[in-house]
Every structure is written in C-alpha cells, then in structure tokens.
Amino acid sequence: MLTDSHCHLFYEEILKDIDNVFKRSKELGVNRFICVGTNINDSLLSLDISNKYENVYCSAGIHPHDSENVDKDYIHQIELMMDSDKMIAVGEIGLDYFRNISSKKSQIKVFN
C-alpha cells in the first residue's frame, strides 16, 4: 500500500473526477492521499475532502508564493484545523527565494 504524500485533490478538474482518480490510483497501488493546502482556502478544502473520504488526510499551510496575501490570524486558522484527526501535517510552508514570486521581506514577515 502506497501513500501519495503530496497531492492537490481540490483542483476542479481532479475533484469532478475524484472517484476515477481513486480507482486508477488503487490500480497502481496508491491507496492513501495527503491533500496539501497552499493557503487557508486550499487548506480548508483539503480538510473538507479528507472528512469525506476515509483514505484522504490533509495538511494546512501557506506556500511562500502566497505570503503576500495572508490574513493576520492565519496561524490561529491553521491551529483550528489541527483539531481534526484528518489533519496530519503542516505544509506547504517555508521560504522560497528561488523564483522570487513573493518578496523576501513578505516571506520573512509571515514565517518569522
């Protein structure tokens, strides 16, 4: 049994075909999924999906590219999601200076 440790099942094209995604994955030996949130909205969607499907778990986080558009209470929002048994990880999270999509300053402010 394999686990896909980083997927985004909340993408519209995947979500509308999720039963077939699970079927094809099972045929390839992938039976569990960790749906990774990249911002608060995606993290909430990941949690919602994980609550609907027994074989799906989730993470919550803020991708560095989204660091310029973060609510002040994002840490509290993530903490609330962590009350769920389906929330098993924190991430996407961290600093990314390679692509320069968000400024160094905004990333440090959010993740400090």
Question: What is the tens place of the pLDDT at every residue in 63-96?
Answer: 888 777 888 888 899 999 999 999 999 988 877 7
Report domain extents, the chain: 2-111
Task: Please report the pLDDT score of residue 91 as a whole number.
Answer: 84
- On whether the 2-111 domain is CATH 3.40.47.10, my answer is no
Strands 30-36 and 87-90: unpaired
The region that residue 89 occupies, defined by phi over 0 for left and psi between -120 and 50 for alpha, beta otherwise, is beta
Task: Report d(CA 68, CA 76) in Å as an integer.
Answer: 17
State pLDDT tens for residues 10-59.
999 999 999 999 999 999 999 999 999 999 999 999 999 999 999 999 99
